[in-house]
Structure 1
Amino acid sequence: MARGKSVGSNCVKVAIAIMLKAVILIGGPQKGTRFRPLSFEVPKPLFPVAGVPMIQHHIEACAQVPGMQEILLIGFYQPDEALTRFLEAAQQEFNLPVRYLQEFVPLGTGGGLYHFRDQILAGGPEAFFVLNADVCSDFPLSAMLAAYRREPHPFLLLGTTANRTQSLNYGCIVENPQTHEVLHYVEKPSTFVSDVINCGIYLFSPEALKPLRDVFQRNQQDGQLEDSSGLWPGAGTIRLEQDVFSALAGQGQIYVHLTDGIWSQIKSAGSALYASRLYLGQYQLTHPERLAKHTPGGPRIRGNVYIHPTAKVAPSAVLGPNVSIGEGVTVGEGVRLRESIVLHGATLQEHTCVLHTIVGWGSTVGRWARVEGTPNDPNPNDPRAHMDSESLFKDGKLLPAITILGCRVRIPAEVLILNSIVLPHKELSRSFTNQIIL
C-alpha cells in the first residue's frame, strides 16, 4: 500500500511506502516457572508447539502483513546458541530482519518498549504490533491493521470473550459497543467486570510511546523521593496493563478489536499441549504440508498429526489425533500415541501407549509401558471457555494433569506412569501415579 504526497506547485505525486514493525515480548528465565521442567532445556519461547518453536507462529503471522519491515524480540534471556540459531534461521526463512534486544534488567511488559524506543521507531514506521510470546492465536493482524487505518488511535488491543468465572484470570475490558473505545480496564479483577478480555496482542501508533515516557518519568520522580542518588533502578519497569491501559481507559486513546478466532495463553505444559492442538487444527488452512497423511505402508494417522521429516515411525503405529513428533524421534511397532508432544531425539519402544503427555528430549519409554495424563481441556459445551490456569497442587496433593517426562528420562518396560512429572535425567524402576519424581 502507498500514499500519495503532493510536492511543490506542480502537484507531482510521490509514492511513500507504508512501513510496519512488530515487537514480540519474550520475557525471561525468571518467568515461566509453571513450564518447568521443560524450560530447563530451552527458553520457553523456543519450546516446540505443533512442530515449530512457539514464537515462530508469531513471526510467520507478522511476516505475512504487507509492509512489515522488521521484527524485534525483547526480553531478558541471555542470547545463547539456541536463540541465535533460531534468529538466523528465521531471517533466512522469512527474508526479514529478526533481531533480539536484551533488557539489562527485567523491565515489565512496557519497560522494554520504552527502553528500545529508538530501535522501534527507526525508519519511521506507521505503526507497530506488540505480541506477548506466551499466547496462541490465529493472529488477525491484517484485520487489526485495517481497523487501525479506518480510525487511527494510539492503542488498539485485540480482545476476545470469556465466561464470567474465567474472565477474572485476565485483563478485563469494558468497551463502548458502538465505537469500541476502551472505557475501563482492570487486570485480573477480584469481581466480575466484563466478559471481554485482553489477548496480549496489540497495534500501537508511534504516539503510544508518549504515555510510556510519562510513566517512566513519574517512576523516576517517585524513586528520587526514596533514593537521593537519583539512580533508582525501578524507574524503567513499566506494566502496560496497570500503568498504561488502566490509567488511559476512557480518554479516547485505547480501542479494542474483537476476534472470535482461536486464542489461548501458554502458561504451562498443559496449555502448550492444548495450543498444539489449536495450531494443528489451523494447519488445515495455513500449512497443510505440515500435516501427516495416511499412506499405504505407513503409520495409521487419525486427525491432525505433525511428524518431523527426520523421525522414524513404524508402519504399525497409530498416531493422533493432535500429536506432534519432533526431530530424530523413533516410534516403534504397535505404538499408540495421542494428544501428545514427543520432543527431539526421544524413543518410544514397541507397543508403548502415550496419552496426554509431553515426552522430553532424548527420553526413552520402554516396551509395553503406558504413560498417561489427564486432559484439562476447556468446557466443550461453553464456546467462551478457555484453558483454566493450572496449579500443581491443591490441598497438599498433586492435581491430576498431563504427564511430563523431562529431558533424558528412561521409563522401563511394562510400567505405568500416570499424572506425574519426572524431572530430567531420571531412570525409573517402577510405576508412579500422581507424583513429582525428583
Structure 2
Amino acid sequence: MRISTANSYDNTIALLTKRQAELAAQQERVTTGKRVMKASDDPVAATLAETAANRLARTTADLRALEASRTSLQQAESGLAESGDLIQKVRDLLVTAGNATFTDAEREDVAKQLEGLREQLIAVANRKDNAGRTLYGGLGGASVPFVDLYGPSGNGVQFEGQRGQAAAGNSALPQALDGDAIWMRVPQGNGSFTLTLPNTNTGNVHTTMGEVTDVALLTGDDYDITFAEVAGVMQYTVTNVSTGTPVAGHVGQPFVANRTIEFDGMSLEMRGVPAAGDSVELRPVTAPTDIFSVVQSAVDALRYNGPNESAHHTQAMARAITEVDAGHDRVLAARGRAGEWLNRADSLNSQMENRSVDLKTEQSRLEDLDMIKGLSDLEMQRVGFEAAIQSYAQVQRLSLFNAIS
C-alpha cells in the first residue's frame, strides 16, 4: 500500500492542530485555575461539583435567613429586657403607693407615673425590627398588634395580631414572638380566685390574696364573706353564692383580725376592722387579664375617693403587686426563651459555616487544577509542540532532488 506525500502532510498538520488545541486548553486551565470547566472535561467530577454548588447555594441562603432571624430575635430580647425594667418600676411604685399615710395628691402623682409606664409598655409591645416587621405580633396579621381602647366605652388594650408562635426549624428561627402570650395572659389574683371589696363597705377590712390549700376541694363557685354585729360581737359568715348555702363551720363565727380562715380548699387572712354590713367577694378566676389592665386598674384604684378608701387602696395595691409579679414572670420566661433561641442561632450559624467550608473544599477538589502539575503539563506540551513544528519544517524541505545532489 502506497501513502502519498500529501496524505502524510495532512496527517502531520492535523496532529499539530490537535497539539495546539491541547496547549490552548491547558493554558486556559492554568489561567482560570479550573481543571473542569465543562461537563465533557470530566462528567463525573462535573456532576458532583454541581451538586456541591447547589448545596452551597442553599446553605448560603439559610445563613442569610438565620442572620435575619437572629437580628430580629436580638431586638425582641432587648425589648423584653426593657419591658421587664418597666414592670419592675411599676411594682416599685405600687409598693410606694401602699403607704397608708399618702395624701390624695401623692397618690395622684403615683397614678400619673403609672400611666406613663403603661404607655411605654404599649410602645415596647408594638416595636418593630429593622425590616419593619412587628417583633411581638405572633403569626402576623396587624401592623400594630396592641391597640389601646381604654376609655369610657373601651375595653383596654386589645391584641390585633395573630396568636401563636412560629416553630424553630433546622436552619431558621422565629422572627416574631407571641405578644399575646407574653403580656395578655396574666393570671388574675392568685391565679385561682380573686378577693375584692365592694364600694359599699364602710369599715377598713381587707384581706390577703389567699391561696389554694387543696385543689381537690375546689368547687369553682362564687363566695361572699359577710360581717354582722351580734350582741356586741363582730361575726363573719361565708356563703356559697352559687348554691345559696352557707359554708359549714363558717357561719356566725367571731371575727379575729389577722387570723387565717380556710374552707373548700382555699384559705385567706382577714385584716383590719370590718363594719356591720361589710363584705368580701371571692370569685374564681375564669379568664386571664393583661399587664396593661393591671396597671390601669391600679391607677383607677389610686384615684378612688369613696368610703373607706384606705382599705380599698390596700386591697387593690396588694392584688396589683401579685398580678404584676405574675406578669413579670411571663416576660422573664419569654426573654429566657428568646435567649435560648439566640444560643441556638449561634450553634446553627457555626454548623452552617462549617458546612459551607466543607462544600467549598469538595467543589474545589473536584473542579480546581493542581497548579504545580498544571504548569508542568503546560511546559511539556509547549516544548513538545515547538519540537513538532521544527521537525515538520525540516521534513517539509526534504525532496528527491536534495538526495540526488
Structure with greater Cα Rg: 2
Fold match (TM-score > 0.5): no
TM-score, normalised with respect to structure 1? 0.22
Give the TM-score normalised by the residue count of structure 2. Answer: 0.23
- Name the structure, 1 or 2, with higher relative contact order (CA <8 Å, separation 6+): 2
Q: Which has the higher helix share?
A: 2
